Amino acid sequence: MKIGRWGARIKNKYIKIFKNTFCYYSNAFVGMRACVVFHVRLPGGALTANSNSPALSPSMAAAGAADEKKRARPRRGRPAKKAQEGNGETAVAAAVASSVPDIEDFSPEAALKARASLLQWYDAKQRKLPWRTAASQAGGAGEDRAYAVWVSEVMLQQTQVATVVGYYNRWMERWPTVRHLASASQEEVNEMWAGLGYYRRARFLLEGAKSIVEAGEFPRSAAALRQVVPVVDGNVIRVISRLKAISANPKESATVKNIWRLAGQLVDPSRPGDFNQALMELGATLCNANQCQALSLSRKFDSIQVTTYPTKVTRAKKRHDFAAVCVLEVVEELDPKELKANSYPKVLVLVKRPEEGLLAGLWEFPSVLVEGEEQTDQATRRQAIDLYLKESFDLNLRANCHVIVREDVGKYVHIFSHIRLHMYVELLIISLKGGLDALQNKAEGSLTWKIVDDDSIEVMGLTSGVRKVYNMMKSFKHKKLSTLTKSALTKNIKRRR
């Protein structure tokens, strides 16, 4: 199959899936990074190598120092905002930035020095990571190499390497090729991904794999893949900001093109993949958010340190949502002794979330969002859950089923990138007139749900939030149910008979 046909069949659908965030590193698919773009304005002085760091050659930082003489270009865009008092190093850096012209481009000489220094360091010091090993073992521009790198780069979006390694190894063991992945179901993929976060990535990986298999293959031609393009993620932003002493807000959209321009001037045309990985590696290790062993200021400002850059900006406040969560157990026959020992036969009810939106298509316990914290008292929460069970399963706790245990388990706050979800968890154990068959007949047709036993839920790929709720419930039952008096349990159980 020719590359042109591959592009015609895959390009629009494949690239759209990832919202045009692929950056091809090299003809051998050494790496692909879905670009997390930060935005930076370009005032400030240059940085030089830190003499205390033997790991990186001084010529790396010389890329910035060599350009200090080229600052005649007038400032573009809006002037820097006046620094607010009390902001410490950030305010000083902003004040310094407002008094100097924009940073010029990297000169060809400076770029050559940076490439040679960084690649030399990377070849000697790069971390041994499973996707790098897999890519090198696959060799060439083959499909297996492309797939190994693709999976790792999608997993690494906004997720630390230490977290990804275990998930990557398990993923590749189960789906070693793109064709194995294409044959998987969305539910299987979600379960494997559970706990890694940003679950849309898992759906995009599966959709991309199916598209590739439908087209026939990954592109194989070196000409089709050889694109000397930069990569800009948080690590690259950090290194370039420090290299050029860029102190403006790194999230201002008006300056994103400048950061990409500078990164593009540095990328090595003969080893673009290795260079892009090396620049990210530097930002993740020697020059991370808290310290920088590779660079130091060439100009002496008493109140400014290398770690002043990039400018730290105040994050938007997370939205607070509040939910009533019901761990619903359905039992057939129950003896008080079995309840106290938690050894009785039972099933748990799980509900599938909508296919769009937060945690799309994943399983959770029945839950209802309430209007605000003022609506989280027990009576209001239980009223909301009762209504949900009635509308979704036609369960009337006073008519067609009997409540054996209903207790508040506790509160858990699950943090998403933009939301703090306050979950108020309760345990509800019921028996049904007609048993589980009655539940099957009562459930609303449009609702996707299932029942699972303890053994099944222990090995399910639940999200970290749902797993936390389940573990809270188990701990509660172990501590609290054993303390309930025999007479109270017997009274509840006899009432249902």
pLDDT string in tens for the chain (497-residue length): 333 333 333 334 333 333 333 333 332 233 333 222 222 222 333 344 443 343 454 445 444 444 444 443 444 444 444 434 444 444 444 444 443 336 678 999 999 999 999 999 999 999 999 988 876 665 555 678 888 888 998 999 888 899 999 999 999 999 999 999 999 998 889 889 988 888 889 989 999 999 989 888 776 655 556 678 898 888 898 898 888 888 778 788 767 778 888 999 999 999 988 999 999 999 999 999 888 888 766 555 667 788 888 888 887 888 999 999 999 999 876 655 555 555 667 889 999 888 777 787 789 999 999 988 888 999 999 999 999 998 888 888 887 788 889 999 999 999 888 899 999 999 999 988 766 766 665 555 567 888 898 888 888 878 889 999 999 999 998 887 666 545 455 555 555 44
Pair 39, 63 in one domain: yes
Is 313 among the domain residues?
Answer: no
pLDDT at 264: 94
Three-state SS at 410:
strand
Is 434 among the domain residues?
Answer: yes
Pair 304, 337 in one domain: no
Pair 397, 282 in one domain: no
pLDDT at 370: 92
Place of tokens 């748990």: 348
Pair 299, 414 in one domain: no
Backbone angles phi, psi at 343, to 5 degrees: -120, 15
Sequence-separated (6 or more) residues with CB below 8 Å from residue 203 = 186, 189, 190, 360, 361
Q: Which domain covers residue 185, as residue numbers? A: 3-74+88-308
Residues 395/396/398/401 CA torsion (nearest 10 deg): -20
**Which of 85, 143, 153, 458 is labelled catalytic?**
153
pLDDT at 190: 86
Q: Where are the alpha helices (DSSP H) in 349-402?
A: 378-393
Is 165 among the domain residues?
Answer: yes
pLDDT at 331: 85
How many Cβ atoms sit within 10 Å of the Cβ of residue 425?
A: 24
Pair 172, 288 in one domain: yes
Q: For residues 412 and 410, what is the distance between their CA atoms, to the nearest angstrom? A: 7
Domain boundary among 289, 308, 327: 308
Pair 284, 354 in one domain: no
Is 81 among the domain residues?
Answer: no
The pair of three-digit structure tokens given for residue 145, joined into one six-digit string: 């190499």
Is 129 among the domain residues?
Answer: yes
Is 80 among the domain residues?
Answer: no
Pair 235, 325 in one domain: no
Secondary structure (DSSP) of 476-493: HHHHHGGGS-HHHHHHHH
Backbone angles phi, psi at 419, to 5 degrees: -140, 140
Pair 235, 368 in one domain: no
Is 10 among the domain residues?
Answer: yes
Whether residue 153 lies in the annotated active site: yes
pLDDT at 340: 56
pLDDT at 219: 63
Q: For residues 346 and 329, what is the distance between their CA atoms, to the nearest angstrom? A: 6
Pair 400, 265 in one domain: no
> Per the confidence metrics, is the pTM higher than 0.75?
no
